[in-house]
């Protein structure tokens, strides 16, 4: 049998986005090497963020349960201690965080539509609202230190409340209230600080034009974190600030 003088050339295998045969699509610059496509990458980010938020719910849940337990044990002391908080500042901070949730949602919308100016403007506003919340919280904390409403040897709600002056046996229970107040709002403020830093990082990435309609996972996941922190405050405000509002005018 005779063979052909020129053998047919063997076609080189086509390497796609990941260097594997069969992947003919272009490699997106935002696609990490260990994912097959952008959809798989986004699913992984979503599941990871929700897993993180679930453990955050359990973390805050312990504080909420402790508050509920002690609130039921010492209802009068907790109600009158709550009356020593500044409900006006708490309300202003609530409005600030609601506004920040709106701007965060619009920033994510800017990523979904590919509008870089919308992303940048809304992220800046979100950061501003977050920092505004922290500044207001600073002045609120400073007032508590000034009036000796910080759990410790100098703790004394009696000079601000006639009820505690008449019921000195309830002062230790008020100390529990303020311990939980600082623990719950302090941990929340720490999450706000982390969130503000996260938004600054996201802003720098948005400025580089990294977030486009087909790939803005980091922007979207950061938005979930921000909304979660806002929701925690929505529960904290009525539970802590409005508990004793019917007992009379609040003090700062």
pLDDT at 176: 96
Tell me the pLDDT tens digit for each residue of 125-161.
Answer: 999 999 999 999 999 999 999 999 999 889 999 888 8
Model confidence at 49: pLDDT above 80: no
Model confidence at 249: pLDDT above 80: no
Task: Tally Cβ neighbours within 10 Å of residue 58.
Answer: 9
Distance of CA 80 to the CA centre of its chain: 30
178 neighbors 144 (Cβ within 8 angstroms): yes
For 213, which DSSP code?
T
Tell me the pLDDT tens digit for each residue of 181-230.
Answer: 999 999 999 999 999 999 999 999 999 998 988 777 889 989 999 999 99
Tell me the pLDDT tens digit for each residue of 51-102.
Answer: 887 888 888 999 999 999 999 999 999 999 999 999 999 999 999 999 999 9
pLDDT at 50: 75
Tell me the pLDDT tens digit for each residue of 5-16.
Answer: 444 444 444 444
Q: What is the Cα–Cα distance from 76 to 225, expressed in whole angstroms? A: 35
CB under 8 Å to 123, separation ≥6 — which residues? Answer: 103, 107, 199, 202, 203, 206
Identify the band that residue 33 occupies on the pLDDT scale cut at 50, 70 and 90: very low
pLDDT at 246: 58
Which range is most confident: 20-29, 42-51, 167-176, 239-248?
167-176
Task: Tally Cβ neighbours within 10 Å of residue 70.
Answer: 17
Tell me the pLDDT tens digit for each residue of 111-120.
Answer: 999 999 999 9
Domain at 39-247, CATH from 3.30.230.10, 3.40.640.10, 3.40.50.300, 1.20.120.80: 1.20.120.80
Long-range contact pairs involving 157-163 (C-beta distance under 8 Å, separation at least 24): 157/81, 157/84, 160/84, 160/251, 161/80, 161/83, 161/84, 161/251, 163/80, 163/247
Q: What is the Cα–Cα distance from 248 to 220, expressed in whole angstroms? A: 43
CB under 8 Å to 12, separation ≥6 — which residues? Answer: none
Q: Which pTM was predicted?
A: 0.80
Higher pLDDT, 28 or 185: 185
| Every domain of the chain and the residues it spans | 39-247
């Amino acid at each position: 049998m005779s063979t052909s003088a020129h053998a047919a050339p063997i076609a080189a295998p086509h390497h796609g986005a990941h260097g594997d045969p069969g992947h003919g699509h272009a490699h997106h610059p935002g696609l990490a090497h260990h994912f097959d496509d952008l959809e798989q990458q986004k699913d992984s980010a979503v599941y990871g963020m929700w897993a993180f938020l679930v453990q955050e719910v359990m973390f805050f849940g312990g504080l909420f349960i402790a508050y509920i337990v002690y609130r039921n044990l010492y209802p009068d002391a907790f109600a009158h201690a709550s009356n020593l908080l500044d409900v006006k500042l708490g309300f202003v901070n609530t409005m600030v965080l609601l506004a920040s949730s709106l701007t965060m949602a619009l920033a994510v919308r800017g990523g979904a539509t590919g509008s870089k100016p919308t992303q940048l403007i809304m992220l800046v506003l979100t950061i501003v609202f977050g920092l505004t919340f922290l500044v207001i919280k600073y002045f609120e904390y400073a007032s508590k230190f000034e009036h000796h409403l910080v759990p410790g040897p100098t703790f004394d709600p009696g000079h601000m409340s006639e009820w505690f002056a008449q019921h000195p046996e309830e002062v230790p229970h008020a100390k529990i209230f303020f311990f939980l107040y600082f623990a719950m709002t302090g941990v929340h403020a720490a999450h706000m600080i982390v969130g503000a830093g996260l938004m600054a990082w996201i802003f720098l990435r948005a400025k580089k034009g990294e977030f486009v309609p087909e790939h803005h996972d980091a922007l979207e996941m950061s938005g979930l974190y921000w909304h979660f922190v806002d929701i925690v405050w929505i529960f904290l405000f009525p539970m802590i600030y409005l508990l004793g509002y019917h007992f009379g005018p609040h003090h700062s």
